[in-house]
A and B are shown apart, each in its own frame.
Chain A
Amino acid sequence: MLKPVRTLVTASLLLAGSAVSAAETVKLALIDPLTGPMAAAGQPAFEHLKLEAERINANGGLNGAKLEIVGLDNKVNPQESLVQLQKAINDGVQLVTQGNGSSVASALITSVEKHNRRNPGKEVLYLNYAAVDPAFTNERCSYWHFRFDANADMKMNALTNYIANNEDIHKVYLINQDYSFGHAVSKSAQEMLKQKRPDIEIVGNDFHPLAKVKDFTPYVSKIQASGADAVISGNWGQDITLLVKAAAEFGLKAPFYTYYGASSGVVTQLGDKGVDRIYQINEYYGDFEDPEMAKRQVEMYEKTNWDFYYLRLSTMLDMLKAAADKAGSTDPKDLAKALEGLSIETPTGEVTMRAEDHQIQLPMFISVMKDGMKYGAEGTDYNFHKVAEIARDDVTLPTTCRMRRPN
């Protein structure tokens, strides 16, 4: 007797809810370090999202709804992130995004899964733009998690292909942050180099504490003494800036092959000493040819004082809009369904959200720091210049994910 009534009430509440949100705003909460040593990774993402949300809203928003970005500071701390997630949920936020730190991402995935199981009808969608531990789209894959960045293995796949073709490299040094992501980078570097260039010797494999080291000079002395002719590092935030700064100061000749070498601060800190020495694997590069993108780069730096670094955030919002328009709804459940297998055109080519594991498939680029660029990073003349493009099919890797979908 009671059951149909309850269903009816829930249904009408749901209808009312979606009707209201369609007419008004959809909130997307960014849970990332906005203060502290890693803020230089979170702040530009926040500004980027806000700027791109304006563009999305000017083009009709998410299925007519206005997109609003909320910033929540987690200090790269998993516990703090869960508090912020709960706060966001209490405020009625159903879309969250996070990128900095796979340790945080891991906690968020578990928590979002649990929340969605217990609160049907109030699902939360987690859009991951930079936490690249491969596990999240393999053994730990989740229906409510979508990754808009290539994972650590995909990046390493592309990077080692490039290194394997460089006959001058015989000794490689690995230095990474001591947590799941850093270990994933180190492991895949060793495996892939062994397979592609068995003659390359790994002369060092260091792990240092995350966001704690201020003085990398002892590590640099070690690298120098090892005789390495290339360094691979997945460091991000302050850990990459200070690492390459120390290396430049001590005149380390070996080039750095990095995941995040173009992070904010690197160009300013290194100046001349970074030229031809810092390589980066990313979905974007500094001297991107498209005039429309150049305009956006300049606009973002003028307005926010941060560089246009996270193209994947623009891609993420574009895909979210495409999914919302396709589904005719902004309900997370409909969005998730529409995102699966969705393809859109981006300035770098077509990208697809693979339905199997919710891992984006996209082309990648290797770029190197150069002087005298038309559009310099951080108000300088330095920026990252493309040296190689890796096609989507050469980036992709199979998945072991066995997705459990809600009925």
Chain B
Amino acid sequence: MLEIILFSLLNGILYGLLLFMLSSGLTLIFSMMGVLNFAHASFYMLGAYFAYTLGMHTGFWAALILAPILVGVVGSLVERFGLRRVHVNGHVAELLFTFGLAYVIDELVQLTWGTVAVPYREPDYLREPLFTLFGTDYSIFRGVVILISILMFVALWYLLKKTRVGMMIRAALTHGAMVGHLGHNVPRLFMLVFGFGCALAGLAGVIGGPLLATEPGMAATLGPIVFVVVVVGGMGSLPGAFYASLLIGLLQTFFVAIDASVADILGIFGLQIDPYGEVARITLANLAPMTPFILLVLMLIFRPRGLMGELEP
């Protein structure tokens, strides 16, 4: 039992950190520009594919740096030449634009890299076990991923709280017009934040590609969950997104690990709502892929502003 708890904890945290890397960019972009970027997960996919192609020439570590930068550049260009023009037509136009962009990126990826998964893997020496507990290996790569995520989190915090750019970003979050009147170039700031958010998604792709699978469906599988993270955490709240990512990561892993059905759980509380066992017979493991969305629905009903959000959505 202890080993299940321990490894579920490790896996849940790892998955949660990956989710946070994705959702932090999304929530930054949303809180600053009011744009819910539907194509965000597509940038995550681009990160994985860029790293796969670059990695063949430069090796994994160089790709780890280069691929997110490349994704960031693509993101900035999208903002500069696409989103900024659409912006004048309001939020609906922006939403539709990113929605269309997601499809375009999906198709381009399929045209370039084919419709099936590409063999993108971490280097062999990272596949060796970091430690072995209860006969289960924990690979070096997973340790590296956790380390990178934590480093990224610290760097992000430092950037936002301790630097001049961070101050401008935080000011622009709440008082965009004022920052503009003070003589700062707000459109350029928008472009940089959009590019930076995309680069974070790209970084998540570089490490998520070998961890999960690098295939054209990867954006579609993670995309909805990232939105759930942002809504559950509270629109535009970075700490909220962090806690929501970990919560969803842990929930999903533990639900698979627990061998119990809905009826068993209700039984603990002495409830017998389903005597025929049609619904309550569903096991928690089967519910696992649904948990983020159940959380989303509950959150919107009972606490619409999310865990730490300040605004009503």
Q: Chain A interface (Cβ within 8 Å of chain B)?
A: 34-37, 39-40, 43, 178, 206-209, 212-215, 217-219, 221-222, 224-225, 238, 241-242, 249-253, 264-265, 268-269, 271, 273
Contact = CB atoms under 8 A, between A and B. Distances in A.
Contacts of A209: 286, 289
Contacts of B257: 218, 221-222
25 contacts: A36-B217, A37-B217, A39-B116, A40-B116, A43-B116, A178-B286, A208-B285, A214-B213, A214-B221, A215-B15, A215-B212, A218-B8, A218-B252, A218-B253, A224-B135, A225-B1, A225-B3, A241-B213, A249-B139, A250-B7, A251-B137, A252-B136, A268-B119, A269-B121, A273-B127
Given A208-B285, A265-B117, 19 more contacts: A43-B116, A209-B286, A213-B289, A217-B253, A218-B257, A218-B288, A222-B256, A222-B257, A224-B7, A225-B1, A238-B213, A241-B213, A242-B213, A250-B7, A250-B136, A251-B132, A251-B135, A271-B124, A273-B127
A219 B4 CA distance: 10
B211 interface: yes
A218 B256 contact: yes
Interface in B136-174: 136-139
A138 to B, nearest CB: 26
Given A209-B286, A215-B15, A40 B117 contact: yes
Contact of B218 (A214, A218, A253, A271): A214
For the complex of A and B, the 6 pairs showing the least CB-CB separation, nearest first, are A251-B137, A218-B256, A214-B212, A221-B7, A35-B115, A40-B116
Interface in B197-225: 211-213, 215-218, 221
Contacts of A35: 110, 115, 216
A36, A40, A214, A271 — most chain B CB neighbours (10 Å) = A214
Contacts of A241: 117, 213
A237 B134 CA distance: 30
Interface string B235-269: 00000000000000000111011010000000000
Nearest to A306: B116
B115 A43 contact: yes
Contacts of B15: 215
Interface of B: 1, 3-4, 7-8, 11, 15, 110, 115-117, 119, 121, 124, 127, 129, 132, 134-139, 211-213, 215-218, 221, 252-254, 256-257, 259, 285-286, 288-289
A114 B129 CA distance: 56
Contacts of A253: 135
B136 A215 contact: no
A203 to B, nearest CB: 11
A265 B217 CA distance: 16
A221 B11 CA distance: 10
A215 B18 CA distance: 12
A126 B135 CA distance: 48
B32 to A, nearest CB: 30
Nearest to B15: A215
A225 B211 contact: no
Given A37-B217, A208-B285, A251 B129 contact: yes
A222 B6 CA distance: 11
A40 B137 CA distance: 29
B4 A225 contact: yes
A217 B9 CA distance: 11
A221 B115 contact: no
A36 B11 contact: no
A241 B285 CA distance: 20
B211 A215 contact: yes
Contacts of A214: 212-213, 218, 221
A221 B8 contact: yes
A213 B132 CA distance: 25
B115 A39 contact: yes
Nearest to B218: A214
A225 B3 CA distance: 7
Nearest to A245: B213
Given A221-B11, A224-B136, A251-B136, A269 B4 contact: no
A238 B117 contact: yes
A205 B259 CA distance: 10
B230 to A, nearest CB: 20
Contacts of A251: 129, 132, 135-137
Contacts of B136: 221, 224, 250-252
A271 B123 CA distance: 12
A399 to B, nearest CB: 31
Given A37-B215, A224-B3, A225-B3, A249 B127 contact: yes
Contacts of A206: 285
Contacts of B218: 214
A264 B4 CA distance: 31
A269 B254 CA distance: 26
Contacts of B216: 35-36
A224 B4 CA distance: 9
B125 to A, nearest CB: 13
Given A215-B212, A225-B1, A249 B137 contact: yes
A36 B117 CA distance: 9
B256 A224 contact: no
Contacts of A238: 117, 213, 215
B212 A221 contact: no
B75 to A, nearest CB: 24
Contacts of A271: 124
Contacts of B211: 215
B153 to A, nearest CB: 21
